[in-house]
Structure 1
Amino acid sequence: MVPVVHSHRLRVRYSETDQMGVVYHTNYLNWFEVGRTEFIRHADLTYRQLEEKGVLLPLTDASLSYKKPAKYDDEVEIRTLVSEITPVRLTFSYEVVRVSDGELLVTGRTHHVFTNTAFRPIRLSRTEPAVYDWLEKQHKGGE
């Protein structure tokens, strides 16, 4: 079983770089958010719709490993997949790759917990079983 990988491309903007033209390190976390937002959009669901259903997905932990820098005007691809899922937790894994040469720039993971609007943990498999099933299917390779 190979998880489904969603890819999203973007071009590095000047405002995302430092004086040397290198992407400032915290911007990768923003790109991870773009990756998971677009990943969820493939379920014909937006974060806003999920929140309207009373389901939040707060971040509990993040890790990044920098391999090579992205630079101003590079086109990069954010590759996102569900690497772990339980009824109460979800982990996304990411790769940021430069499109022009396929160079791996950054890898990372974000850990989340499913909560209600009062930030109390919920079991997504009970609250929104269709959403949970879709995420689990992505983790298992879209079977």
Structure 2
Amino acid sequence: MREERWVETEVKVRYAETDAQRVVYHGSYVVWFEVGRTEYCEAAGYPYPRMEAEGAQIVVVDLSARFRRPARYGDVVRVATRLAAIRSRGCTFSYRVLLPDGRIAVEGETVHV
């Protein structure tokens, strides 16, 4: 199964998420992926508290990111998230971090079991 719907979440780049050149530190994107995933699950009607109450968890076992262009301090970026694949024992989410002008800053994926 593959979901074509993207859920977008706005994130304003905070100073703490950047390096000395005010460019977003690569580790910040991992946090934004989680923000996007949480919002996706909420929009799909299956928020994390419900998952946990039902004994379900989606543990990250693999993560990848491709950095295309920098996001900078003060930018308002959009984290677009979709469910790329669902299997009997896991799922995969895809992410795009979009700059204010709509260009892709980062593309990524997380695999869960």
Partner-residue secondary structure (3-state), 2:26: coil
The answer on 1:102 being equivalent to 2:102 is yes
The within-5 A match list for 1:122-137 is none
Q: Give 1:46 deviation, angstroms.
A: 1.8
Q: 1:8 matched to which residue of 2?
A: 9
The answer on 1:58 being equivalent to 2:59 is yes
Q: Deviations over 1:64-107 (max 9, x none)?
A: 000011100001000101111112110000000112x1121000
Q: 1:28 matched to which residue of 2?
A: 29
- Report the residue type matching 1:106 in the other structure: V
Q: Give 1:37 deviation, angstroms.
A: 0.2
TM-score by length of 2: 0.94
Q: Give 1:43 deviation, angstroms.
A: 2.6
Runs of 4+ in 1 over 6 A off after TM superposition: none
- Report the residue type matching 1:95 in the other structure: R
- Report the residue type matching 1:102 in the other structure: G
- Larger Cα-atom Rg: 1
Q: 1:70 matched to which residue of 2?
A: 71
Unaligned runs of 5+ in 1: 114-143
What RMSD in Å do the two structures reach over aligned CA positions?
1.3
Unaligned runs of 5+ in 2: none
Percent sequence identity over matched residues? 39
- Report the residue type matching 1:67 in the other structure: R
Give the distance between the partners of 1:108 and 1:49, measured in 2 at CA. 26
Q: Give 1:2 deviation, angstroms.
A: 6.5
Give the distance between the partners of 1:82 and 1:46, measured in 2 at CA. 14
Give the distance between the partners of 2:85 and 2:55, measured in 1 at CA. 22
